[in-house]
């Protein structure tokens, strides 16, 4: 009998993981509490762009993958992967409430020897200090009676080169046995799996990766503002600098980094640093620049139109990046609010999102005073704007 796996959360991280594990021969139950998302999976219409409907249909039909809203009492998993969101709360502090609830709901009554793998992003030390005692409390087992590991997700939706299978995977267990079993599991469908010497190193690595990205995205956005002031094309500057074969990595301007990782993970690292009295000046500055980018483009729109009151403005793309429908932490939200605060009539177009914040996507047309390009999906036909002036947040303004 194949090993039984429960994947908690069937979003951008959990659904690809569940499907790949099922393809590798594991008996997988995917748990999703969002009924709309669960229904879309059961009807073979996953809302995640790089998931093939035919794969979902085949795996559900073969009963290798079962999407459910809760873990059946009769299903005793050998491995539980927790892939739930760990966002920021209203005070921009780490919010582990979804993670805690997932553990309470799915780790109660686990059998001895069960491996629990946390893929949700957390602060360094949280696996050992928060997750471990919670599992002990709800399961009634002590540390040496179950296995616990951390393995940071490295999902980049719609990346055409790097995916779950060929992106190297990090794992670390509270015990060597947990590390080895986690590596065994992931190695069945991921090309390279590396064991870190401690869960803290694995936890920190995820935060380091995305703090690096936030800092460099904020830096290039600051350089884009300077280039605009000097009437220099930032895209040509980046292209020229990229000709150097060492010591430079290209990043590209935007309205500001969004999504569930880049603008969030560095603040998990900052929170941990504050608790041990270490300053995070680079993260603080990068975070501030990132949050200020929508204000900058509101100001640019105001200059371009000689005022915004009663002007009709179309924002193209409310997803946090091109070619996905994910709107988490999207900078477009702050752009739209900033424009409306100045009296503008703001509409938005995004055929991958369609409905968002109680509003609906409008059609592309020439009936606007200005179009602001934020996340332009490959399928968008900008020629429909005709002679509408354009403010491009991803290239020369």
Specify whether 157 is located in the same domain as 238: no
Instruction: Let me know if residue 137 belongs to a domain.
Output: yes
Tell me: do 189 and 256 sit in the same domain: no
| Residue 211 is assigned to a structural domain of this protein | no
pLDDT tens track for 111-127: 999 999 999 999 999 99
Is 397 within a domain? Answer: no
Pair (17, 141) in one structural domain: yes
Q: Are residues 160 and 239 in the same domain?
A: no
Quick one: 187 and 227 in the same domain? no
Exposed / middle / buried, residue 239 (Cβ in 10 Å: 0-12, 13-18, 19+) = exposed
Q: Are residues 179 and 245 in the same domain?
A: no
DSSP, residue by residue, 40-96 = HHHTT--SSTTS-HHHHHHHHHTTSEEEESS--TT---SEEEE-----B-TTS-B--
pTM, entire model: 0.93
CA proximity to 170, closest of 147, 196, 134: 196
Q: Quick one: 47 and 88 in the same domain? A: yes
Residue 352 has pLDDT above 90, yes or no: yes
Mark whether 366 and 253 lie in a shared domain: yes
**Tens of pLDDT, residues 93-105:** 999 999 999 999 9
Q: What pLDDT is recorded for position 397? A: 47
**Do 38 and 133 have their domain in common?**
yes
Separation of first and last alpha carbons in the chain: 60
Catalytic residue among 81, 107, 227, 261: 261
54 and 116: one domain?
A: yes
Residue 51, domain CATH: 3.40.50.720
Distance CA 147, CA 137 (A): 14
Domain enclosing residue 251, as ranges:
223-392
Q: pLDDT digits over 285-343, tens only?
A: 999 999 999 999 999 999 999 999 999 999 999 999 999 999 999 999 999 999 999 99
HSE-up of residue 367 (Cα within 13 Å, Cβ side)? 9
237 and 174 within one domain: no
Domains in the chain: how many in total? 2
pLDDT above 50 (res 240): yes
| Residues 176 and 34 grouped into a single domain | yes
Q: Is 216 among the domain residues? A: no
On whether the CB atoms of residues 223 and 241 are closer than 8 A, the answer is: no
Whether 261 is catalytic is: yes
């Amino acid at each position: 009998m194949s090993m039984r796996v429960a994947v908690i959360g069937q979003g951008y991280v959990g659904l690809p993981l569940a499907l790949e594990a099922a393809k590798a021969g594991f008996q997988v139950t995917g748990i999703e509490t969002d009924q709309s998302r669960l229904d879309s999976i059961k009807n073979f219409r996953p809302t995640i762009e790089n998931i093939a409907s035919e794969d979902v249909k085949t795996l559900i039909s073969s009963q290798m993958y079962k999407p459910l809203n809760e873990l059946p009492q009769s299903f005793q998993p050998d491995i539980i992967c927790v892939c739930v969101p760990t966002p920021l709360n209203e005070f921009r502090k780490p919010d582990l409430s979804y993670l805690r609830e997932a553990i309470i709901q799915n780790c109660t009554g686990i059998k001895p020897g069960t491996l629990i793998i946390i893929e949700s992003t957390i602060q360094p030390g949280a696996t050992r200090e928060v997750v471990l005692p919670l599992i002990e409390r709800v399961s009634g087992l002590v540390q040496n009676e179950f296995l616990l590991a951390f393995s940071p997700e490295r999902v980049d939706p719609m990346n055409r080169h790097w995916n779950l299978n060929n992106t190297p995977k990090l794992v670390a267990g509270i015990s060597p046995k947990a590390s080895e079993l986690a590596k065994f599991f992931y190695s069945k469908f991921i090309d390279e799996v590396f064991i870190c010497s401690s869960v803290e190193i694995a936890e920190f690595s995820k935060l380091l990766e995305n703090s690096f990205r936030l800092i460099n995205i904020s830096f290039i956005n600051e350089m884009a503002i300077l280039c605009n002031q000097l009437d220099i094309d930032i895209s040509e500057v980046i292209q020229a600098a990229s000709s150097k074969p060492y010591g430079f990595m290209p990043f590209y301007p935007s309205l500001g980094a969004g999504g569930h990782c880049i603008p969030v993970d560095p603040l998990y690292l900052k929170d941990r640093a504050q608790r041990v009295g270490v300053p995070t000046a680079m993260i603080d500055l990068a975070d501030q620049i990132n949050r200020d980018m929508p204000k900058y483009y509101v100001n640019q729109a105001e200059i371009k139109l000689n005022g915004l009151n009663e002007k009709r403005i179309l924002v193209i793309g409310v997803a946090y990046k091109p070619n996905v429908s994910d709107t988490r932490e999207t900078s477009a939200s702050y752009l739209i609010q900033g424009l409306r605060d100045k009296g503008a009539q703001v509409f938005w177009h995004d055929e991958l999102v369609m409905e968002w914040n109680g509003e609906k996507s409008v059609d592309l047309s020439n009936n606007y005073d200005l179009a602001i390009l934020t996340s332009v999906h490959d399928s968008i036909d900008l020629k429909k704007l005709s002679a509408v002036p354009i403010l491009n947040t991803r290239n020369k303004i």
